[in-house]
Every structure is written in C-alpha cells, then in structure tokens.
Structure 1
Amino acid sequence: MHKYDAIRPYHDLEINAVLQSAANHPMMKAMMNFSFPELSEEEWKEQLKKTHSIRDFQCNFIYQTIQKVLEKSSEGLTTSGFEKLDPAEAYLFISNHRDILLDTTLLNVCLFEHNLVMTASAIGDNLVKKPFLHVLAKLNRNFLVQRGLSPREMLQSSKLLSEYMGHLLFHENRSVWIAQREGRTKDGNDETNPGVLKMIGMASDEPNLMDYFKKLKIVPVSISYEYDPTDAMKMPQLMAEANNEVYVKDKNEDFMNIISGIMGPKKKIHMKVGKVLDTEIDAIVADNDNVNKQIQALAQVIDDSIIQNYQLWPTNYIAYDIKFNTNKFAHKYQEKERLLFERRMEMRIDTSNDTAVQGFLAMYANPVVNKLKYTDEL
C-alpha cells in the first residue's frame, strides 16, 4: 500500500491525530463556527477528539457544513436516479465539472442520503497548495492528481492513479469520482476528454479494454446549477482563449474560486445520475474493434448521458434567447427572471465588451444548444 502514499487520502488510523493538529487552524475554526454557530469552541473540539474515521468526519461535520452552505447560498438541492443504484456496490462516477469542490461534495451528500457508498474523489494537486486545504482534502477522502509533470513523469503518475482507482473499486469496494475532463467547464460545453478514459484504462489486465470498463460500473453524473457562482471568474480565461492568448492564473485564483464556489449564490441545484453503462459498452464493442475508436465512442456515450440528464433552468433558456435574439423559449421563464439575469450580467462583466457578453451568455446557453441535438421538445 505504500506505493500510493503520495496520492492517497488519510487512513482511518491517521484521522484522529490529524484532526487534533488541525483543530487550532484559523480555517478550521472558521468552518466550525460557520457550521455549528450554536457550539462553543470547546464543544466542537471535544467532538473532533471523538472522531476516528473519514466517514465520521464526513457525516458529523462536512455534511452539516454543506447543509449550511446550501441553506445560505442556494434554493435547495434536488436529485434523481440514485434510487436505481445498489447500496452494496461501488461505482465509478464520471461527472461534468462546474465547481472545484462542490461537485464532488454534493455527490457525496446525495450518496449519504440514499445510503450508498460514498466516493474517494480525484482532485488536482494544484488546487490544494495551501497546507490546510491539502489536509482537508485528505480528510474528505480526496486523492491527488499530480499536475505540471514532465511527459515521462506524467506517464508514471497516470499509471499509479489508474491502479489506485482500480484498487479502491475492486479491493476496498469504494466508489470513485472523477471529472470528465481536467479543469472545470467554462463555456457550458460538457465534453469527456478521451485522455481521461485512457488514463483510467491503464490498469486494465483484460484482453479487451472495454471489458475492464464494464467491470468499473461507470455511472455518468450530471450536475447543474441555476447560477454558476464563479461565472464571472471564468471570464478572463475565456477572453484570453478568444484572443488566442496564453492564460496565466493569478497566485490565489484557485483558492478564490473555491471560496466563491462554496459561498456564491446558486439558486437551484440538481444532480442526476445516469444508468450504469453496460449494454452501451457491448454495443461499442460490436460496432468497432479499434481501441482508440472504442474509447472515443465511450466518451460520446458518457457525453450523451450527461447532456440528456442535465437539468435546464430559466437562466439557460434566457441566455439562449438573448444570445440568438429569439423568443423561442420565452414560455420557460418569467420576465422578472430575465431582468434579474440581465442585471446579474451587467454587475459581473463589462457589457460594453461584446466578446465578454457572448462568452458569458454561451456559458449558460450552450447546455440548451447541446440538448437540442437530442430533442426539439425542450
């Protein structure tokens, strides 16, 4: 097991000591005061002393924190599809990716509430540079995806990551979450990077790679926020790409995105899990015996599920109508909702810059554009 030490979360035997050492950190105090305003510092520290597993920490502390976050920054989280999953099974959840921390944390809230196996979740090590965030990630059963490596190091790291995911699923019966691509979707187009699937498949010992993917029990996940709390923060990168410029992040940009994602207004949130990919993989094998084409086809199947299960909100229809100068979806929203959306856009971006306006609108409109490829009956 030592081979995974550089990327794995804490073992349960390590949890209590880590919590004791982290209890006095200002960010831990801030989190506890936010989550448990009715408790004194002595009381919540006493509860931490009695915590000896990741599950205990997640259920007794993080779950309460997320409930407070939802209460203060949203109009509620709804779910669908979870009742079709087996509480005894571990799944590989492949999800669209809109928010750095909330996507996977909200999935675990849903799994917990449906008595399903919670996930170990992939997170880029660039997102946990601050020591406390690194500790908190490992306390929440996050494992690290190493970034900024040379090609040779990247190959070794990808193989280790793939093996660890297989170890979790097959030997620990632990579900795993990974985003469909590196980095959050910034333009509203949820597309699976085949490279992610190739990495996952590196640990395969099956003669046919698609047989390995069937064993993984892949479940596509669609998460949709009525308002993206980091929409304006995604704009500089979109603007740079539109101008064919190299985008360089500010030093604290990821951290600020994490905080804004957690506390920024979201209105309604919906999370839907698709069915386990099984017959779909059989169909891929029947259609093609070229491995690269099979992986491309699997990426498309995941995209099909994520896009079709994505919950469209009034904000998506409003952005579509504004962007394409139409009233096609006027029946999907109220005029006051449109005015609120326009006001939000005016407050968050420079509306005199057409590239910024089109980028902001596309972020919300593209889920409608993509869904129209499957059905006209929206």
Structure 2
Amino acid sequence: MDQFHDIRPYNDDEVAGVLENLVNTPDFIDTIVGFKFAKWPKWTRGMLAVLVKRVLRKEVGKISDVRSFQMQVASYMERMIKTTTTDVEYRGIEKLAKNEGYLFLSNHRDIAMDPAFVNYGLYLNGLDTVRIAIGDNLLRRPFVSDLMRLNKSFIVKRSANGIREMMAAFGQLSDYITHSLTQEHSNIWIAQKEGRAKDGLDQTDPAIIKMFFMSQKKQKIAFPEAMKHLKIVPVSISYEYDPCAFDKAKELHQKSTTGAYEKAEFEDIDSIRKGIVGRKGKVIVTFGDVIDDNCDTPDAMVAEVDRQIIGHYAIQSTNQAAARLLKGEPAGDQVFERYMAECPDELRETVLTMYANPLLQQQERGLN
C-alpha cells in the first residue's frame, strides 16, 4: 500500500492521465485565458479557451514523465529570468554532491519562486531537482494541486483539525521526508517556518525541526544522529526587489493598526502570479554547509540554521539603501528612491523595515 499516496508528488506513470485531466478542466483553461489575455474583450474568452485547449493538448503530448514536465518548466523559467531579473547568482552549490539526498531548509520570501530558483540552480549544475513542501492552503483549486504535484511538490496538511489529526499529519509528513532522503536519496525543499517572512526577519520555527525528528524518534534514534541522517543544508535566498513587497506591507500595516487581516479567497494565487511576473532585480541563492555538528536539541539546531541563513544572506543595495533611509540618511541609490516613491505613505516605514531587516539581523549578530 502507498502510505503517502495523498501527499506525495505524482509518479511517472500518473503524468499522462493527470495532464489529460488538466486539459479538460474548464477552471484551468479559463485561468490561463484570464492570465494571458487579461486585456482582451470578454466576448473573445470562449474562442480563446478553444485555442488554448488545442495548444495545450499539443504541448502535453510531448510530456510523458516528471522529468519531461520539469524540462518544460525549465524553459519557462529561463524566459522568466530574462524578463524579470538582472542576474541570478548561485553560491556554495559546488559543495553539493550528486546522488545525495539533501534537506534544503530555506528562508521564505516568495511562494513559488523560492523553490523554483533553488531547483533551477540544481538543474544547471546537473543535480537532482527537489521535492517541494507546499501547504494545502494553496491548493484550494484542484488544478493547482495537480500542477504542483506534477512538479514534484508534496502536500503539508496545514488544515488538519484537532490535535490527533494534526499529529497524524505531521507523523506522515515526517515519515515521507525521512523516506525520501534516506531511502530514495531525493532532495527536499522546505521553508524554515510556515508562511513567508513578510517582515524580512528570517527565523526558524522549532516545530519544523521537531517534525523532522518524529519519524526517527519512533525508531529510538537519538536526536543528533537523526539530524545527521537528514543532511540539512540551510539556504538563503535574496531578492534585490520583492514583487509582493507593497502587498506584504499592507497586510502587516493592517494587522498592526486593526489587529487582524482577512485574506481574499484567491490572494495566495495572485501572490504566486506577481512573484513570477514581477520585477526582482538581482537574485542570489546561497547554499550553506551540511549541518553535521552535534546539535543535541531542536533549539540548538534552530540556532545553527538561523546562524547560517542570516549569515549567508546576500545583502543587496536595496537592503543598504533602506537601512540608510530609516536612519534619516540619503538612500544613496536613485533606483531604490524611485521605487519607494511609488510606495503609499502609510506603508513607507513598513516597506523600508522589511528591506532593512536582513542587514540589521546580521549587524545584531555580528555576522556581517
């Protein structure tokens, strides 16, 4: 029996059936039409849907397994990099060995692009792409779940109700991650905490580390040894510009002034779209060192992950300019000044703090 059938990515023999179902899903076709032809008159939508379906059917006919699907994704990634970034740099990737399964524990700024940039770097360097942890809160539309699982995503059941159901979900997730890494030698990507670090402060949630341990704890394996089995590699992803910065600031500002923030139904999907098509400037992905020290407790592991993620974060000109502006000094960056001129006045300090925090974290820890 496949104990992970409801959370794992799709297997090669499932790809053709899932793609056929997607092509025949009106919600999926309508979403593509709305995205690519947003400015076209509404009366053209029906004709465009027929054309999109015809083109997609031709495209998916070339895809027979997960690898060929990801090769198609890579071509879209290359196009996106050309149009939305000025440069993408990878640091520390030469330390990774082929045919090893690593647990990439990453800071989290963008829902889709964080694992996508990690994946692209691995692909360019001849390493196996990652299995991506994705919360079920992002999968409210079935076609989104199908697309993600085709791209080697596995599901984190955040919507589990009650302690018993939640512990069962965490146990299954821990078993799947351990099985992927130690039995199948597959790479895993997972964020260091639930949700994006909207304030620019990168901090690991101890619950993530405790979840990793659950599977091996049942086998009476000591915590330090269990962590070594997982080959945890902290990853720091740095964007010169965050396409969702003003939206994140709006949420933070509303929470601070009213105490609450209510997400729109498909707000996360819109954030994914903005993250893909929005301006990013320079992107730097830094792979840290495998944590094989004797971290005896979850708190010790959290401290080491945070030290590496914060210390390896590549400080950009925007981080430096924001820190200067917060101190009342000239930005020293005309491009960033023009960018901030577009920011609503009530969000200005929140946005500046968001950009400055990675630098401030390094300074507070003496890591820069």
What is the deviation of 1:33?
Answer: 8.2
What is the deviation of 1:359?
Answer: 1.1
What letter is aligned with 1:22? L
Match of 2:309 among 287, 306, 310: 306
CA distance in 1, matches of 2:321, 2:191: 27
Matched residue, 1:56: 68
What letter is aligned with 2:190? I
Paired residues for 1:290-329 under 5 Å: 294-326=297-329
What is the deviation of 1:68?
Answer: 1.0
Matched residue, 1:17: 17
Match of 2:132 among 118, 121, 142: 121
CA distance in 1, matches of 2:159, 2:32: 32
SS of match in other structure, 2:319 = helix
CA distance in 2, matches of 1:244, 1:90: 45
SS of match in other structure, 1:4 = coil
Deviates more, 1:81-90 or 1:19-28: 19-28
What letter is aligned with 2:263? K
What is the deviation of 1:17?
Answer: 1.7
What letter is aligned with 1:210? P
Q: What are the Cα deviations for residues 299-319 of structure 1, in whole angstroms up to 9, with x where unaligned? A: 110011111111111100000
Q: What are the Cα deviations for residues 11-53 of structure 1, in whole angstroms up to 9, with x where unaligned? A: 110001212232354278669989xxxxx98676445223222
Runs of at least 5 residues in structure 1 that lack an aligned partner in the other structure: 35-39, 286-293
| Cα distance change, pair 55–313 in 1 and its aligned pair in 2 (3 A) | same
Q: What are the Cα deviations for residues 326-366 of structure 1, in whole angstroms up to 9, with x where unaligned? A: 46xx7xxxx4xx33323322323x21x2xx22211111000
The answer as to 2:337 corresponding to 1:362 is no
What letter is aligned with 1:295? P
Q: What are the Cα deviations for residues 116-170 of structure 1, in whole angstroms up to 9, with x where unaligned? A: 1211110011112122211110110101111232222111101111001111111
The answer (yes or no) to whether the contact 2:231–2:291 under 8 Å persists in 1 is: yes
Matched residue, 2:249: 235
SS of match in other structure, 1:259 = helix
SS of match in other structure, 1:227 = coil
SS of match in other structure, 2:364 = coil
What letter is aligned with 2:10? Y
The answer (yes or no) to whether the contact 1:206–1:212 under 8 Å persists in 2 is: no
Q: What are the Cα deviations for residues 272-299 of structure 1, in whole angstroms up to 9, with x where unaligned? A: 10111113xx2x33xxxxxxxx211111
- Structural RMSD (CA): 2.3
Match of 2:189 among 177, 180, 187: 177
What is the deviation of 1:236?
Answer: 2.7
SS of match in other structure, 2:342 = helix
The answer as to 2:278 corresponding to 1:264 is yes
Matched residue, 1:93: 104
CA distance in 1, matches of 2:266, 2:58: 33
Q: What are the Cα deviations for residues 198-255 of structure 1, in whole angstroms up to 9, with x where unaligned? A: 1111101243112101110000001000000100111232113323612221112111
| Cα distance change, pair 367–27 in 1 and its aligned pair in 2 (3 A) | farther
CA distance in 2, matches of 1:69, 1:225: 15
Q: What are the Cα deviations for residues 169-191 of structure 1, in whole angstroms up to 9, with x where unaligned? A: 11221111100000000111000
Paired residues for 1:152-301 under 5 Å: 152-204=164-216, 205-243=219-257, 245-279=259-293, 282=294, 284-285=295-296, 294-301=297-304
| Cα distance change, pair 201–31 in 1 and its aligned pair in 2 (3 A) | farther
CA distance in 2, matches of 1:50, 1:188: 41
TM-score w.r.t. the length of structure 1 is 0.86
The answer (yes or no) to whether the contact 2:136–2:159 under 8 Å persists in 1 is: no
TM-score w.r.t. the length of structure 2 is 0.89
What letter is aligned with 1:151? I
CA distance in 1, matches of 2:33, 2:262: 30
Equivalent pairs counted in the alignment come to 348
| Cα distance change, pair 297–244 in 1 and its aligned pair in 2 (3 A) | farther
